[in-house]
Structure 1
């Protein structure tokens, strides 16, 4: 079978050693649309994402992408016990937890392992966890993610757990919109994700999409940035964790609608696109 859970679950993946500079931080934030609104280029709050001075801050979601930031090939899928290809795969869920503000430059190593493989009948879900540590061995952040592999379920394995984040039955504390630029996916792919699904029209159609779609992690980062600005006075250091589940496709040129609630010392939120189609669900920001 293309996925062998007995081999995959618990398998340690090759550690990733990587470095980053403030230039990488700036490019990442620009890929998420920072400073894209009129006046942002002279707004001190917005410039905390896009100007490499003493006030530069790093969104925690940067920790998800920085280990592969300088890769120029499509992401590899050489997972132990998993014979799958890019056309089958979409991002399922993502979580990052930081020990403190991510430095604007540094060197680290990410150790990773496969923790679960779920059988959803028509598809499989593969979960990974990782820990990033500095050269001195200090833990910097943790990541947890899943990929949804079409056509690889049905072997009778565990369906896994299903938890939903309840949203308050009241008006949102913040309701914002963000217009995804037509070239957003082409810009964001420079942050280390060269999957042709996000740039090549023929590949996207072969995978069942009408056109190249926005990276799920770009949507993820946009939502974090917009909620940080709307509810945390733009202070990314107040975010200790950020989780979300990818529940829909976003096309460049569409508009994201993001609603957020401050609830029990955290932020819960929803993100929809176009006519209300879900884009990112079960969104939780854990606060310092």
Structure 2
């Protein structure tokens, strides 16, 4: 049985001990397209160690380490071919700005397994503690969609009503991606061949390798932090999104945002494909 909720729900995954320094942060930011204008001081905040800031979405990397080892997804009570697995959503809540160097121990727990009929949804909650002790630096939630694994008799889960804005967007931001964007992003740790191997992608039902959901998540967060907070990522307290559709490397993303006190809501589409959804239910919150 590929999905066994009795085994999965409540299971602890092995802790991840993750260390990083400025080189890791720079690699991550460059994999998101940072430095596209190397003469722009706001871009150099992400691409040069002098005055380096850390995007909050960097915190989503550590919890995913070891979960996507080709060729299968192997979790307690969950077994699936990686070709059937998509990242369904991600959220990060920060206790404060991320440092440019650090070491954390990430505790990970499978908290929900939902039966959506044609697919299964697996939710992993993570808490990152400083390796030398102390209060958590961040908490995150990763949602995985396993296509074709539904029908195991589990709970379907609540269906939330979609948020519908009541006015035109306050801002619209376009973000270019590179044809080699997924190949660059793989250097951050996710080596799923779905993002690199054309034959593997076709076997999974896609015409070409797709961009990592977490890469799209980071690209959009970077664009919004630049547009609304003038690149001051230290103010960000949280970022979440649901991955609503695939993005192919080289496509331009268009993000429409509705700004309120201390935060915004947004949605990202691909204009070249009739505004096909990419990210939905994007939320960015900040302090100050």
Q: TM-score range by the shorter chain?
A: over 0.9
Q: What is the aligned partner in structure 1 of residue 192 from structure 2? A: 195
1:136 and 2:136 matched? no
Shift of 1:76: 6.1
Secondary structure, counterpart of 1:83 in structure 2: strand
Secondary structure, counterpart of 1:111 in structure 2: strand
User: Partners of 1:68 and 1:88 in 2: how far apart?
Assistant: 17
Q: 1:181-230 CA deviation, whole Å, 9 max, x = no partner?
A: 11111111111111000000000000000000101100000010000001
1:27 and 2:27 matched? yes
Q: What is the aligned partner in structure 2 of residue 211 from structure 1? A: 208
TM-score (norm 1): 0.94
Q: What is the aligned partner in structure 2 of residue 17 from structure 1? A: 17
User: Partners of 1:158 and 1:24 in 2: how far apart?
Assistant: 40
* Matched positions, count: 284
The change in CA–CA distance for 1:12 and 1:71 in structure 2 (over 3 A counts) is closer
Q: Which moved more, 1:269-278 or 1:257-266?
A: 257-266
Q: What is the aligned partner in structure 2 of residue 248 from structure 1? A: 245
User: Partners of 2:221 and 2:266 in 1: how far apart?
Assistant: 10
Q: Structure 2: which 5+ residue stretches go unaligned?
A: none
Contact in 2 for aligned 1:165/1:268 (Cα 8 Å):
no
Q: 1:8-30 CA deviation, whole Å, 9 max, x = no partner?
A: 00001100111101001001011
Shift of 1:75: 8.1
User: Partners of 2:156 and 2:230 in 1: how far apart?
Assistant: 40
Q: Structure 1: which 5+ residue stretches go unaligned?
A: none
Q: What is the aligned partner in structure 1 of residue 84 from structure 2? A: 88
Equivalent positions of 1:133-172 (< 5 A) are: 133-138=129-134, 139-164=136-161, 166-172=163-169
Shift of 1:136: 2.5
Shift of 1:164: 4.9
The change in CA–CA distance for 1:141 and 1:24 in structure 2 (over 3 A counts) is same
User: Partners of 2:5 and 2:69 in 1: how far apart?
Assistant: 27
User: Partners of 1:75 and 1:286 in 2: how far apart?
Assistant: 36
User: Partners of 1:264 and 1:26 in 2: how far apart?
Assistant: 31
User: Partners of 2:65 and 2:154 in 1: how far apart?
Assistant: 34
User: Partners of 2:162 and 2:283 in 1: how far apart?
Assistant: 8
User: Partners of 1:73 and 1:10 in 2: how far apart?
Assistant: 22
**1:109 aligned residue (94, 102, 105):** 105
**1:62 aligned residue (58, 63, 68):** 58
User: Partners of 1:253 and 1:92 in 2: how far apart?
Assistant: 21
Contact in 2 for aligned 1:74/1:193 (Cα 8 Å):
no
User: Partners of 2:68 and 2:119 in 1: how far apart?
Assistant: 28
Shift of 1:67: 5.3
Shift of 1:265: 2.5
Contact in 1 for aligned 2:31/2:181 (Cα 8 Å):
yes
Contact in 2 for aligned 1:22/1:105 (Cα 8 Å):
yes
Contact in 2 for aligned 1:198/1:204 (Cα 8 Å):
yes
TM-score (norm 2): 0.94
**2:255 aligned residue (249, 258, 268):** 258
Q: What is the aligned partner in structure 2 of residue 277 from structure 1? A: 276
Q: CA RMSD in A?
A: 1.8
User: Partners of 1:86 and 1:262 in 2: how far apart?
Assistant: 37
Q: Which moved more, 1:278-287 or 1:64-73?
A: 64-73
